[in-house]
Structure 1
Amino acid sequence: MFAALARLSLVTRILIAIILGFIVAYLFPNVAPYVSLLGDLFIKALKSVAPILVFVLVLASITNFRVGQGAGNLKPILGMYVVGMLLAALSAVAASILFPSTLLFTSGTEATLQPPGSISEVLKNLLLSFITNPITALNEANFIGILAWAVGLGVALRHSSDTTKHVITDISNAVNSMIRIVINFAPLGIFGLVVATFAQAGLETLENYAHLIIVLVATMCFVALVINPILVAIVMRKNPYPLVLKCLRESGITAFFTRSSAANIPVNLDLAKRLGVNEATAGVSIPLGATINMAGAAVTITILTLAAVNTLHIHVDFVTMMILSVVAVVTACGASGVAGGSLLLIPVACGLFGIPTEIAMQVVAIGMVISVLQDSTETALNSSTDVLFTAAVDLSKK
């Protein structure tokens, strides 16, 4: 039986694990605390290997870079990131107008997290991330700092001896071998995550916010299945859906359950390699996308902010909604690549409408209640889009 499973593709094994996870969560919910250890170990393994993987791959790519290898693809990829996020935010505005949501506020909130005070603070933190100590950046999984140091050292080592370049390449290959081992355990990790998620949360806690969840998830699906394919079709000038569906299937499913763009970086790099994407391009664009390409976060920030506005009966004109879309894109770029990173940026957007922090933090608390589906879907959209846009640009040039 194990030999037969080993011959199946990784995606097929993950789908089997998801189905088994649903069955176990429904029939034996009491085993969730024990089975969830598999999921915790898998996420921990991904998060542990991701920073050093990104550092070594980017360093090796730039050190061994030759003119014409594909670094020029980064500019159009970044352009697609920005346009995709803006269109996602505008889609969220349209969804909020067509299907307005309301929230249930209480007199207090349990949330004790501290959100950024303004957009300038978000941008300041983002810029300061570039000059973080490299050891600290690796320890804290600060991918902006990791990228900055990897690029700087890579440029400095471009004129090093061939022996040095071979050593760096060998280290990169060794780290790649480690990550392949981790990814092969994905079905077990996903199985544990599915059991834990549905045994603990179930559907009862989501009933009060069913409308809000439907609007959020439907908007993200619209972005993934309509907006993104249109952008890819413009770039590739061919049917985009084979590539779109492959990225959703092989990157989105894993990201849905890990709920971390950072943890999904190794999965995306592996998929990009199998798609034939230039490693020099993928080694920079995918880690960067995990930090700044947050279309799902832009949707979450926009819809939850407008839901609060609608609940408080605040009048919003068209121009203000457009400004909110831009603010959502800018703040989404500052969302961390971990679970729930976008929720703490909601108070920044709420500040546009004069909503007090106490109320805004209640919106954050509501976001945490529905995060079982909201954050999972958001991460699946964010992470799959990283590899999708990278592959679209790179493959179109070939």
Structure 2
Amino acid sequence: MFSAFLRLSLVSRIMIAIVLGVAVAILFPESAPYLSLLGDLFIKALKSVAPILVFILVMASIANFKIGSSNAYIKPIMLMYAIGMFLAALSAVIASSLFPSTLFLGVATQADLTPPGSLAEILKNLLLSFVANPVVAIAEANFIGILAWAVALGIAFRHATESTKALLNDAANAVNRVIRLVINFAPFGIFGLVAVTFADAGLSTLASYAQLLAVLLGTMFFVALVINPIMVAFVTRSNPYPLVFQCLRESGITAFFTRSSAANIPVNLDLAKRLGVQESTASVAIPLGAVINMAGASVTITVLTLAAVNTLGISVDFSTMLILSVVATVSACGASGVAGGSLLLIPVACGLFGISSDIAMQVVAIGMVISVLQDSTETALNSSTDVLFTTAVDRGLS
């Protein structure tokens, strides 16, 4: 029976693991703390291998880069990332206008949370991350610094001997083998993560925020199933939904339970390879997407900020909402460089409306309460979009 399970496709095994995880959470909730070890080991393995994977793959890809091979692909992918985030923020503005939400302010904030004070501080943190010590960047999983050093060394190695370039390729292939081994354990890790998530008693507290969650998740689903397919159809000139559903199924589900775009980089690189994307394109675009492509973060920042605005009765015109969409897009790009991710960037957006930092941090605290679903769905949208847009451009320009 176990042998038959192993012969199934990875997606089939993950789906079975999800069903079993839900069943165990319902029937034996007391076992969840023990099963959490499986999920913790899986996430730890992904997070451990992701920094060195990105560093070596990007460096090897650029070192062996052939003029005209993938340079033409990177710029359109980056443009799709930017447009996708802005349209996601704009969708959140419209959804919040149609279905205004209110918050129960007065929630206790966490003293250890220190949000950035402005967009300038976000950009400063990003620039400082670029020049971080490479060893420290890899040890702390600072993917902005990792990318910067990988690109710099990759360019330098372009002038190396062919044997050195071959060595870099062999190192990249070796890391890929380790990645495939880790990914094969995904069903077991997902099983543990699902069991813990559904057995968590904190889920009952989400009922009081049903309206807010409905707007948040509904907007993210709209982006995933309407906005993204329209963009992909424009680029590929074909029916986008087979690709959209495959990316959501094979990348989004894993990202939903790991709740980490960085941890999902190996999954996306493996999927991109199976989708036929050039390795020289995927090895640069997907790690970069995990750092700056944050459509889900744009939605979160916009919806929660406008919920606070609506709660306080602040009047907002369309031009201000448009500016908010731009601010949310820029802030989302810096989400990966701030401890706490998208939630800690909400005070920056709240500053547009003169909302005090005390109230803004209460909004952040509410975000922490609903993060079981909000952060998981956000990560699923962010990560699946990375491989979706990369594949779309690769096919559209091929």
CA distance in 2, matches of 1:259, 1:223: 18
Partner of 1:371: 371
1:107 is displaced (CA, Å) by 6.8
Structure 1 position 313 matched with structure 2 position 308: no
Structure 1 position 113 matched with structure 2 position 113: yes
The letter for the 2-side match of 1:79 is: L
1:200 is displaced (CA, Å) by 1.4
1:340 is displaced (CA, Å) by 4.8
Give runs of aligned pairs for residues 253-292 of structure 1, distance below 5 A: 253-292=253-292
Instruction: Say whether the 8 Å CA contact 1:290–1:386 is kept in structure 2.
Output: yes
Partner of 1:176: 176
The letter for the 2-side match of 1:242 is: P
1:68 is displaced (CA, Å) by 2.3
The letter for the 1-side match of 2:226 is: V
Partner of 2:67: 67
Partner of 1:153: 153
Q: Deviations over 1:337-361 (max 9, x none)?
A: 7995110100110111111111111
Partner secondary structure for residue 159 of structure 1: coil
Partner of 1:29: 29
Aligned residues: 398
Partner secondary structure for residue 368 of structure 1: helix
Structure 1 position 42 matched with structure 2 position 34: no
Cα separation, partners in 2 of 1:188 and 1:261, compared to 1, 3 Å: same
CA distance in 1, matches of 2:154, 2:118: 34
CA distance in 1, matches of 2:255, 2:337: 11
1:370 is displaced (CA, Å) by 0.5
Partner of 1:381: 381
Partner secondary structure for residue 215 of structure 2: helix
Structure 1 position 296 matched with structure 2 position 286: no
Q: Deviations over 1:299-355 (max 9, x none)?
A: 000000000010011111111111100000000000017995110100110111111
CA distance in 2, matches of 1:247, 1:358: 39
- Percent identity of the aligned residues? 74
The letter for the 2-side match of 1:29 is: P
CA distance in 1, matches of 2:339, 2:132: 22
Cα separation, partners in 2 of 1:392 and 1:14, compared to 1, 3 Å: same
Structure 2 unpaired stretches of 5+: none
The letter for the 2-side match of 1:54 is: V
Instruction: Say whether the 8 Å CA contact 2:89–2:295 is kept in structure 1.
Output: yes
CA distance in 2, matches of 1:339, 1:131: 18
Give runs of aligned pairs for residues 224-243 of structure 1, distance below 5 A: 224-243=224-243
CA distance in 1, matches of 2:224, 2:339: 19
Partner of 1:13: 13
1:385 is displaced (CA, Å) by 0.3
CA distance in 1, matches of 2:393, 2:385: 12
Q: RMSD between aligned alpha carbons?
A: 1.2
Cα separation, partners in 2 of 1:110 and 1:159, compared to 1, 3 Å: closer
The letter for the 1-side match of 2:176 is: N
Cα separation, partners in 2 of 1:373 and 1:294, compared to 1, 3 Å: same
CA distance in 1, matches of 2:76, 2:201: 41
CA distance in 2, matches of 1:61, 1:67: 12
Instruction: Say whether the 8 Å CA contact 1:40–1:189 is kept in structure 2.
Output: yes
Please report the TM-score for the alignment, with normalisation by the length of structure 2.
Answer: 0.98
1:167 is displaced (CA, Å) by 1.1
1:229 is displaced (CA, Å) by 0.3
Partner secondary structure for residue 244 of structure 1: helix
Cα separation, partners in 2 of 1:50 and 1:107, compared to 1, 3 Å: closer
Partner of 1:328: 328
CA distance in 1, matches of 2:59, 2:336: 23
Cα separation, partners in 2 of 1:19 and 1:136, compared to 1, 3 Å: same
CA distance in 2, matches of 1:92, 1:373: 17
Structure 1 position 165 matched with structure 2 position 165: yes
Instruction: Say whether the 8 Å CA contact 1:201–1:372 is kept in structure 2.
Output: no
Give runs of aligned pairs for residues 78-89 of structure 1, distance below 5 A: 78-89=78-89
CA distance in 2, matches of 1:320, 1:342: 20
CA distance in 2, matches of 1:196, 1:272: 29
Partner of 2:140: 140
The letter for the 2-side match of 1:60 is: A
The letter for the 1-side match of 2:55 is: F
Structure 1 unpaired stretches of 5+: none
Q: Deviations over 1:40-69 (max 9, x none)?
A: 110000000000000000111111111122
